Structure 1
Amino acid sequence: MSYLLPHLHTGWHVDQAILSEEDRVVILRFGRDGDETCMRQDEILSNVAEKIKNFAVAYLVDIDEVPDFNEMYELYDPCTCMFFFRNKHIMIDLGTGNNNKINWAMDSKQEFIDIVECVFSGARRGKGLVISPKDYSTKYRY
Structure 2
Amino acid sequence: MAYLLNTLTRKREVDSVIRDTIDKVLVLRFGRASDAVCLQLDDILAKSAREVSKFAVVALVDVDSEDVQVYVKYFDITLIPSTVFFFNAHHMKMDSGTADHTKWVGAFHRKQDFIDVMEAIYRGAMKGKLIVNCPLPPERIPRYQLLYKDI
TM-score tier (shorter): over 0.9
Unpaired runs of 5+ residues, structure 2, are 145-151
Structure 2 distance, partners of 1:137, 1:91, is: 20
Where in structure 2 are the equivalents of 1:86-125 lying within 5 Å?
Answer: 86-125=88-127
Please name the residue that 1:39 is paired with.
39
Equivalent residue of 1:33, what SS? Answer: coil
Cα shift readout 1:86-139 (whole Å, capped 9, x = no counterpart): 010000011112111101111111011000000000011110100011243785
The answer to whether the 8 A contact 1:96-1:137 is kept is no
- Tell me how large the CA RMSD over aligned residues is: 1.3
Equivalent residue of 2:93, what SS? Answer: strand
For normalisation by structure 1, the TM-score amounts to 0.95
The answer to whether the 8 A contact 2:107-2:142 is kept is no
Unpaired runs of 5+ residues, structure 1, are none
Where in structure 2 are the equivalents of 1:58-77 lying within 5 Å?
Answer: 58-65=58-65, 66-77=68-79
Please name the residue that 1:19 is paired with.
19
Q: Following TM superposition, by how much is the alpha carbon of 1:34 offset from its aligned partner in structure 2, in angstroms?
A: 0.9
Structure 2 distance, partners of 1:139, 1:123, is: 21
Corresponding pairs, count: 142
Q: Following TM superposition, by how much is the alpha carbon of 1:3 offset from its aligned partner in structure 2, in angstroms?
A: 1.1
Cα shift readout 1:30-84 (whole Å, capped 9, x = no counterpart): 0101101100100000000000000000000001112221111000012011100
Identity across the alignment (%) = 37
Please name the residue that 2:148 is paired with.
none
For normalisation by structure 2, the TM-score amounts to 0.89
Please name the residue that 1:9 is paired with.
9
The answer to whether the 8 A contact 1:96-1:136 is kept is no
